Structure 1
Amino acid sequence: MRITRLTTEQARAVGEALARAAAFFRQIIDAFRELTRRLAAALQPLVRLAQPAQAAIEVPGRPAWQSPYGPPSRRRA
């Protein structure tokens, strides 16, 4: 792609600004990656604590969405 309406100096300035913006966003992405890594590590003990309770709540042999009372009754017309 060729930009014909910018001077060489302007095109160079735009390229430098884009490079700075890319570096800035790269820093933000790296910070979020580190944040999520630390958050996952901090929540791991809570996950281990909740696993026995989750196992006690789950009823084997029936999907979670299925009613324990059976299918709904049919409407009478």
Structure 2
Amino acid sequence: MSMLERLKSTVSSITQADYTDVAADQALNLDSIHRISLIVALEEEFDIEIDSDELGSEMFDTFEQMGKFIETCIAQ
């Protein structure tokens, strides 16, 4: 499964919405409650630890930005 597919699946499980046809650079418009839940889900899905000091709201704007952030966390 590709990074994009994993991200879409994880976000869908949190929001209960279908992101199948959402482009990687399309705005996700997640609310703050979904963002908090998503942090935990991403840590579990990708076996990473997300430092709150590294978080910015733009990380959740698109799947593309989220993927870049996750790849940085994995590389550390």
Alignment TM-score, normalising by the size of structure 1: 0.22
Using CA pairs under 8 Å that are at least 6 residues apart, name the structure with larger relative contact order, 1 or 2: 2
The structure with more radius of gyration: 1
Alignment TM-score, normalising by the size of structure 2: 0.23
